[in-house]
Structure 1
Amino acid sequence: MTKKLFFKNVYLKEFTANIISKEEIEGEFHIVLDQTAFYPEGGGQPCDTGTIDSLKVCYVYEKDNKIYHIVDKKPTKLNNVKCTIDWEKRFDHMQQHLGQHILSACFEELFDAETVGFHLGTAFVTIDVTLSDLSNDQAQKVEYLANQVVFNNLRVNQLYPNPSKLSELPLRKPPKVDKNIRIIEIDQFDFSPCGGTHPSYTGEVGLIKIRKWEKIRNNIRIEFVCGNRALKDFTWKNDYIYKIANLLSIKDLDVLNGIEKIYSNYHSQQKEIKKLKEQLLNYEAFALYQEADIHKEIKIIYKIYDNRDFNELRTLATKIISKPNAIVLFGARNKKAQMILSSSKQIEINMNEIFKKVCIIFNGKGGGNNHNAQGGGDNLSKLEDALKEAKNIIINQYI
């Protein structure tokens, strides 16, 4: 059994230990120490990292009451090895984990909502709470209460109660183990079974900030950050607000109103642009129809475009064939070769069959129906040949 120093002194950054076993597995060495301050992954909390002498510890896990430290090189020294914890990472985990206890307790205190899921990620922390919905006002109430718990700097105790004492404690959730039950107490505010690492006072958590939430099945998933993560979150957001305010030449407090105004103007302009584009397409369709080559009273509009939006060409073709006795043969050279073959309803020519015959010329795929067929291929240089072949088939075999 490995002696767990992280429970006796959560602030221990350096220690010495003896290596009592080492095993090579797939090029990595799994080391067991007689005692360790490295926290193994578990209970939703990631493991610690750091060094054992000059060996980098990349992962730590617990199995059969032994804690294994994975390093990339074989240790050469076995006794009195110097071990160092990545303290920035450890303290971050401590802040986030205790912040989760506080936030979960506040959800239960205010809305009788249990925490049924917890994940401590590298950037954000999430909890799943048993609520069907969450309003902005409710989220602010929870966040306010959580931060009052932080600002009051309450003492955090770890308890190992006997069964009789355990039954007297107002636990927020039942323990998952039967022996060596460890309870984290936040000075009469919250009692929760937990095997993780936490600061000794709530003030060390720093600010708790709810970032967003979403419905996940029948629960609400809360994303939040604490301490240094909250500081980083505030820093980049404040920087963005400052830059946006400068771009708009307004005060930072007026940024939302300024963006809403721009957003409203943008949508109005988009509607106007769409209307003008529609008019231009109508004029273009009319001009192409009027100027088309006529073969036995059928107008054939044949044209290849470079770098033109294919959806726009489809709309243009639809407008043209809404007129009588029209055939549209469009090609488009964009990132790939694209083709549209369309005809008015009065014309009994199967455009899909013609497309299938000519698309192989430019390595094309696609299809459609009697009056509309379209598709694309990768041989841009052969697009014109394919379109000419389609025109020849129509003129020589159908008209």
Structure 2
Amino acid sequence: MTRKLFWEDQYLTSFTTDILSIEEDKENNGKYLIELAETAFYPEGGGQPNDEGEIASAYVDYVFETEGKIYHRVNSKPTEKNQVKCTVNWKRRHDFMQQHLGQHILSSVFYRRFNCNTVGFHLGKEAVTIDLPRDSFTLDELSLVEEEANNIIYLNLPVSALYPSDEELSSLPLRKVPAVEENIRLIEVKNVDCTPCGGTHLSHTGEVGVIKIIKLEKIRGIARVEFLCGLRAFRDYQLKNEAINSISNILSVPNAETFEAVERVYLENRSMNKRLNQLNKTLLDYEVNDYYNNADKIKDYSIIVKMFENKDMKHLQLLSSLINGYPKTIALLAAKNQKVQVVFTRSSDVNIDMNKLLKEVIPLIDGKGGGTSVTAQGGGVNGNNLEGLLQAAIMKLKHEYV
């Protein structure tokens, strides 16, 4: 079994050791798997990601354990095997130690206050989550947990790794039962928490810095709490403080009043948009009525033909829905923008297949489309021939359809 230096000294980032074996990684071309006589590289497991760093000059991007042996995946094959220098990426390791110990502290408070033991834990690159067997928590409950967790940090309590005997294990106030029966390792936060864990942790709670709950999700009877610790929480505060200051300056209000100001602007904007949409609808009704009154006639049918610049398919569809309300009306609508788009439609009292008509002329713009006998739509790439398409459709209506 590989000797685990990260359990002996979790602050160890540089060590020298022998390489026991180097083999090609069959699942990752150009990568190699290295087994060391001993290692300070933490392997992925227990919800904590693996360490990264270097073995000699080879970059370690993944570390895993199988059957007691720890393997290090590297991007090049070291030339030396004896007494090679190894370096753990401390910035990454310290971040994970802050998040992981913060999780222990937060989980212990949820357990003590609400008898909710953590049933899931994920430590990602951006955030950390724990899953709790409860539908939800109120904001007041989360604030209580958050404040108590940070008070534990401020006490700067010692954190220890314990390897108890069976007799000692039975007398300890464990938060959860160990998943293994041998080589049990516990992490104890003095007077606060004692739980099985194989991860790396800080030596005192004060090094966590701060814990901030940032999100609560409800997932099939599980409350998922997302939080940040240490430098992650600090960077999150920087980002949000900058955003609040910017909003405060734009709206000319104190920071404490930004929410009320944004809410007011949002409601005003929604009301104005609603009024604007009503006015646009009224204007469009007038336009469509004008189109109908000035439409060309083929026998007793009104033929509306319109080509627009810088309009989209949504505008054509809205026009077609309004035009369909007029009796004995056929509309050939087109928009020439980045794309060439057309909509052919008719009122319900016109017995003409608009889908058939569209398919007959759409090749003129190197396009395709389809729909129903009432309304069909399509698009093409040859905008230079859009007017030709409309004229061809008019001729077919005159000589073949009406």
Query: Shorter-chain-normalised TM-score: which range?
Result: over 0.9
- Secondary structure, in 3 states, of the residue corresponding to 1:115? coil
Q: 1:268 aligns with which of 271, 293, 298?
A: 271
Q: Which residue of 2 aligns with 1:307?
A: 310
Q: Which residue of 1 aligns with 2:326?
A: 323
Which one is further off, 376-385 or 178-187? 376-385
After superposition, where does 1:363-378 map in structure 2 within 5 Å? 363-378=366-381
Which one is further off, 313-322 or 122-131? 313-322
AA aligned opposite 1:289: Y
Which one is further off, 372-381 or 318-327? 372-381
Judged with a 3 Å threshold, the aligned counterparts in structure 2 of structure 1 residues 24 and 347 are, in CA distance, closer, same or farther, namely closer
1:288 aligns with 2:283: no
The CA distance in 1 between the partners of 2:17 and 2:250, in whole Å, is 57
1:7-42 Cα shifts (integer Å, max 9, x gaps):
111111211111122212232222111111111111
The CA distance in 2 between the partners of 1:51 and 1:40, in whole Å, is 14
8 Å Cα contact 2:312-2:341 kept in structure 1: no
- Secondary structure, in 3 states, of the residue corresponding to 1:131? coil
1:128 aligns with 2:131: yes
Q: 1:389 aligns with which of 387, 392, 398?
A: 392
- What value does the CA root-mean-square deviation take over the aligned residues? 1.6
After superposition, where does 1:1-399 map in structure 2 within 5 Å? 1-25=1-25, 26-399=29-402
The CA distance in 2 between the partners of 1:98 and 1:390, in whole Å, is 73
8 Å Cα contact 2:43-2:65 kept in structure 1: yes
AA aligned opposite 1:124: A
Shift of 1:151: 1.2
AA aligned opposite 2:78: P
AA aligned opposite 1:103: L
- Secondary structure, in 3 states, of the residue corresponding to 1:230? helix
The CA distance in 1 between the partners of 2:189 and 2:368, in whole Å, is 66
- Secondary structure, in 3 states, of the residue corresponding to 2:175? coil
Unaligned stretches of 5+ residues in structure 1? none
1:83-140 Cα shifts (integer Å, max 9, x gaps):
2111111110000001111111111112222211111111111111111122222211
Unaligned stretches of 5+ residues in structure 2? none
1:283-331 Cα shifts (integer Å, max 9, x gaps):
1101111111122122111111121132222222222231222111101
AA aligned opposite 2:5: L
The CA distance in 1 between the partners of 2:238 and 2:289, in whole Å, is 57
The CA distance in 1 between the partners of 2:385 and 2:83, in whole Å, is 75
- Work out the number of aligned pairs and report it: 399
The CA distance in 1 between the partners of 2:172 and 2:380, in whole Å, is 71
AA aligned opposite 2:12: L
- Secondary structure, in 3 states, of the residue corresponding to 2:34? strand
Shift of 1:218: 2.0
The CA distance in 1 between the partners of 2:120 and 2:130, in whole Å, is 5
Shift of 1:347: 1.6
1:171-224 Cα shifts (integer Å, max 9, x gaps):
222212221000111113111110000001111111101111211222111111
AA aligned opposite 1:221: R
- Secondary structure, in 3 states, of the residue corresponding to 1:328? strand
- Secondary structure, in 3 states, of the residue corresponding to 1:119? strand
The CA distance in 2 between the partners of 1:296 and 1:24, in whole Å, is 82
- Secondary structure, in 3 states, of the residue corresponding to 2:149? helix
TM-score, normalised by the number of residues in structure 2: 0.95
Shift of 1:336: 2.2
8 Å Cα contact 2:19-2:81 kept in structure 1: yes
- Secondary structure, in 3 states, of the residue corresponding to 2:171? coil
The CA distance in 2 between the partners of 1:8 and 1:195, in whole Å, is 12
Which one is further off, 230-239 or 64-73? 64-73
Identity, % of aligned positions = 47
8 Å Cα contact 2:292-2:304 kept in structure 1: yes
TM-score, normalised by the number of residues in structure 1: 0.96
- Provide runs of 4+ in structure 1 moved above 6 Å: none
The CA distance in 2 between the partners of 1:64 and 1:54, in whole Å, is 27
